[in-house]
Amino acid sequence: MSDILVDTNVLVYSFDPRDLQKQERAQEVFVELASAGKVVLSVQCLTEFFRTVRWRLPNPLSSERALLEVMRFAAVCKVFDLTYYVVLQACQASTSYQMSIWDALIWAVARVNDIPFVLTEDAEHDSLLDGVRFLNPFHSDFNLSMLQATQ
């Protein structure tokens, strides 16, 4: 199985009790992939996660708990930086493909680092953009075996 970049929304759903089905699915997928050592994150995902679980959830995490979770993610996942080259790629993709800069940054981190998959609900399920496939783990057609397609 290839490495998979997990977007912020999947991480946040693990802590969001408003949709128990998504919460359970996010936890299940993350544990399975992390156990296999296949989860990749961007520093952007860590910062967005911290912000969201601190201030956007109905029962926000304490700053200490949010920091602990960020540290836990960083300990079990490969974390890629946002480099100048990644930012340039993202700016070009944002313009060319009418993506938000935030989604384009996620795509660019995956593309620059040869990560074939991004798990997110922020893109059309099973869409392909310049070698990066977007998969929505909450979509009815999603199956973890889809991540083995490029082995």
Domains of the chain: 4-140 (3.40.50.1010)
Alpha carbon separation from 51 to 61, 68, 69, 94 (Å, rounded): 10, 13, 12, 23
Residues 6 or more apart in contact with residue 143 via CB below 8 angstroms? none
Q: pLDDT digit string (tens) for 26-65? A: 999 999 999 999 999 999 999 999 999 999 999 999 999 9
pTM tops 0.95: no
pLDDT of res. 151: 37
Interval 78-86 mean pLDDT: 97
- What percent of the chain is modeled with pLDDT above 90? 90
Q: What phi, psi does 122 have (nearest 5°)?
A: -95, 10
Report whether pLDDT(148) > 70.
no
pLDDT of res. 144: 81
Interval 92-98 mean pLDDT: 96
pLDDT of res. 150: 44
Left, alpha or beta for 119 (phi > 0: left; psi -120 to 50: alpha)?
A: beta
Residues 6 or more apart in contact with residue 15 via CB below 8 angstroms? 23, 53, 57, 61, 69
Interval 134-150 mean pLDDT: 82
Arithmetic mean of pLDDT over the chain: 94
Report whether pLDDT(123) > 60.
yes
Residue type, position 126, single letter: D
